[in-house]
Chains A and B, each alone.
Chain A
Amino acid sequence: AQRVTQPEKLLSVFKGAPVELKCNYSYSGSPELFWYVQYSRQRLQLLLRHISRESIKGFTADLNKGETSFHLKKPFAQEEDSAMYYCAARDRQGSSNTGKLIFGQGTTLQVKP
């Protein structure tokens, strides 16, 4: 069955410390992977896609097919990074983007001053 797992419910770090939010997936084929973020009192929004291999707000995520992981990393955490982070996966369906997103359970990142 398709599954996305975020093993940590809460990750608490001090400002300036490195951050790694873990995500593992179990999918047949090669899914697309995403990280979404929900800041306090704001809507869920896209942070990163594995396809674009970009760095957003200092965050990067590398797809490791061997380990079926897509961990989110940032070398120096900032207080404004405190939020709920969701890893999500979607089946590739040719050129269509209509596939459903399967979300992980979410990890709350708390960055302390």
Chain B
Amino acid sequence: DTAVSQTPKYLVTQMGNDKSIKCEQNLGHDTMYWYKQDSKKFLKIMFSYNNKELIINETVPNRFSPKSPDKAHLNLHINSLELGDSAVYFCASSSASSGTGAQHFGDGTRLSIL
């Protein structure tokens, strides 16, 4: 009954590779987010989608491309991985117009670049 689930939980890969992280939520939310948590535990928004439309796009290299096939999914594709991409990536979701507006987070995907 996991609310926001991300796969994979761990991802170890070499520099230069392309990889994807998937996120799904079963809360009926219409807004989804990707956050990056660096080695100092600092959390920063990367992207947000509302009803499959991009509404927040922070200063993120264009090697990062989010894709939202439907309201319940927001995937993150990363091209040409670099050492600095090593981090924990969190997916989150919320309802734009109802409830508390609190964001519900996934467990995170720990990406390690060798």
Contacts and interface: CB of A to CB of B under 8 A. Distances in A.
A100 B45 contact: yes
A103 B43 contact: yes
B55 interface: yes
Interface residues of B, number: 31
B112 to A, nearest CB: 18
Contacts of B90: 44
Residue of B90, B96, B100, B103 with most chain A CB atoms under a 10 A cut-off: B103
Given A106-B41, A106-B42, A101 B103 contact: yes
A11 interface: no
B41 A84 contact: yes
Contact of B108 (A43, A96, A101): A43
Chain A contact surface mostly? strand
Given A49-B100, A52-B100, A106-B43, A98 B55 contact: yes
A45 B108 CA distance: 12
Contacts of A100: 33, 45, 48, 56, 58
A97 B94 contact: yes
B45 A105 contact: no
Interface residues of A, number: 24
B102 A98 contact: no
Nearest to B30: A98
Given A43-B107, A46-B103, 9 more contacts: A44-B90, A49-B100, A84-B41, A97-B96, A100-B45, A100-B56, A101-B33, A101-B45, A103-B44
Interface of A: 32, 34, 36, 42-46, 49, 51-52, 84, 86, 90, 95-98, 100-103, 105-106
22 contacts: A32-B101, A42-B107, A43-B107, A44-B92, A45-B104, A46-B102, A49-B100, A51-B100, A86-B43, A95-B97, A97-B31, A97-B101, A98-B50, A98-B55, A98-B94, A100-B33, A103-B35, A103-B43, A105-B40, A105-B41, A106-B41, A106-B42
Interface of B: 4, 31, 33, 35, 40-45, 48, 50, 55-56, 58, 90, 92, 94-97, 99-108
